Chain A
Amino acid sequence: MDAVFFAQLLFNGLAIGLIYALIAVGLALVYGVLRIVNFAHGEFLMLGAYAMALVTPVLGLLYLPSLAVAMAITALLGVVMFELLFARLKETDFERSILVTTGLSIILLHGVQWIFSASGRMVDTEFGFAGVEIGDIRITATRLAAGVVALGAFLALWLILTRTQFGRAMRAISQNREAALMVGIPPRKVARNAMMLACGLCGLAGAALAPVYLVQPIMGQALLFKAFALVIIGGLGHLQGAAIAAVILGVVESLAGGFLTIVWQEAIVFVAMILVLLLRPQGLFATRIRVG
Chain B
Amino acid sequence: MPETALLELRDLRAGYTPDTAIVDGVSLTLSPGTVTTVVGGNGAGKSTLMKAIYGTVRHLGGEVRLRGEPIQHLPPWERLSRGIGLVPQGRCNFPEMSVEENLRLGAYRLTRSEAVRAIERVAAMFPVLRARWKTQAANLSGGEQQLLETAMVLETAPSLLLLDEPSLGLSPKMQAEIFATAASIARDTGLTVLMVEQNVRGALRVSDTAIVLEQGRKLMEGPAAEVARDPRIRQAYLGGGATAMGT
Contact = CB atoms under 8 A, between A and B. Distances in A.
B92 interface: yes
Nearest to B112: A165
Contacts of A186: 75, 77
Interface of A: 165, 168-169, 171-172, 175-176, 178-179, 181-186, 289-290
Contact of A176 (B77, B95, B106): B95
B194 interface: no
Contacts of A178: 56, 88, 92
B92 A182 contact: yes
6 contacts: A175-B95, A178-B56, A182-B86, A184-B81, A184-B156, A185-B105
Contacts of A184: 76-77, 80-81, 108-109, 156
Given A165-B108, A181-B56, A175 B97 contact: yes
B152 interface: yes
A289 B87 contact: no
Most buried by B among A169, A171, A175, A290: A175
4 smallest CB-CB distances across A and B, nearest first, come from A184-B77, A184-B80, A184-B109, A175-B94
Contacts of B86: 182
B109 A172 contact: no
Contact of A290 (B96, B109, B149): B96
Contacts of A172: 94, 97, 105
Given A176-B93, A290-B96, A181 B76 contact: yes
B136 interface: yes
Nearest to A179: B92
Contact of A289 (B75, B105, B136, B152): B136
Given A172-B94, A176-B95, A289-B96, A183 B101 contact: no
Nearest to B90: A178
A226 B83 CA distance: 48
Interface in B170-221: none
A233 to B, nearest CB: 19
Contact of B87 (A176, A182, A290): A182
Nearest to A238: B96
A241 to B, nearest CB: 13
Contacts of A165: 104-105, 108
A183 B96 contact: no
Contacts of A185: 77, 105, 108
B161 to A, nearest CB: 12
Contacts of A179: 88, 92-94, 149
